[in-house]
């Protein structure tokens, strides 16, 4: 099968059978690396949009009368792209350093690709959860004191947190499978990731 096709098929597969997908990321052959670059880019962009939509900034956009559905869509794509770019290199870099700190010989690129497939649940939330939220609450999702302020809104944002936790769980599994480590060592690597990100935030 064509490697490009294989990696696109692994995008939904990482949600259902993640171990096999992360095991495939061990390959550093140039053809494999190039084939998975576009799926990783798509996943990161969609995940970035989900993160941008979940920020406190997004929840106040419609307080500004200049915003309409088209403007909101443009904002989501631009903000999501910025989040995706920063996450790909900053969080990916922290993941690389965290793994190196525990003895990994993996590359920076592979660490970024592990992150890219781990955020698949966030990408899924952009395609499923947020459209459902728009159907249920409309633009009140992006306005203070809207219909999403009640119990139904709390359930929606709890579901959004659930997708985020799913992504963290996939990242932990990805680290474990790619490096062949124990759960304890993999958790320690993610602990170092948190420390690196905290240090980065403090410096900047």
Q: What is the token pair recorded at 32?
A: 């494999």
Backbone φ, ψ for residue 94 (5° rounding): -65, -40
Backbone φ, ψ for residue 61 (5° rounding): -60, -40
pLDDT digits (tens, 9 = 90+) for 131-165: 999 988 888 888 887 665 667 778 898 999 999 99
pLDDT digits (tens, 9 = 90+) for 67-83: 888 999 999 999 999 99
Q: Mutual orientation of helices 30-53 and 108-118 as an angle, nearest 10°? A: 50
Strands, DSSP E only, in 138-178? none
What is the spatial distance between Cα 69 and Cα 92, in angstroms, rounded to a whole number?
A: 32
Tell me the residue range of the domain where 133 lies: 3-203
pLDDT of 74: 95
pLDDT of 69: 87
Work out the mean pLDDT of the chain and round it to a whole number.
92
The SS3 of residue 67 is coil
pLDDT of 5: 94
What is the spatial distance between Cα 192 and Cα 185, in angstroms, rounded to a whole number?
A: 11
pLDDT digits (tens, 9 = 90+) for 41-99: 999 999 999 999 999 899 889 888 888 889 999 999 999 999 999 999 999 999 999 99
Number of structural domains in the chain: 1
């Amino acid at each position: 099968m064509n490697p490009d096709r294989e990696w696109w098929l692994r995008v939904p597969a990482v949600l259902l059978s993640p171990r096999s997908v992360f095991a495939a990321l061990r390959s550093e052959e140039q053809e494999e690396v190039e084939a998975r670059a576009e799926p990783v880019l798509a996943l990161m962009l969609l995940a970035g949009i989900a993160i941008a939509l979940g920020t406190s900034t997004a929840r106040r956009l419609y307080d500004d009368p200049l915003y309409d559905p088209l403007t909101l869509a443009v904002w989501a794509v631009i903000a999501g792209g910025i989040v995706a770019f920063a996450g790909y290199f900053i969080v990916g870099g922290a993941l690389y350093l965290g793994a190196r700190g525990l003895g990994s010989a993996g590359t920076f690129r592979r660490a970024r690709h592990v992150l890219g497939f781990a955020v698949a649940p966030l990408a899924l939330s952009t395609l499923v959860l947020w459209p459902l939220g728009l159907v249920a609450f409309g633009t009140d999702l992006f306005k203070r004191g809207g219909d999403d302020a009640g119990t139904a809104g709390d359930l929606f944002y709890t579901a959004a947190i659930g997708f985020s936790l799913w992504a963290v769980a996939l990242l932990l599994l990805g680290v474990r499978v790619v490096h062949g480590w124990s759960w304890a060592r993999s958790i320690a690597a993610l602990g170092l990731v948190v420390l690196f990100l905290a240090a980065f935030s403090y410096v900047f």
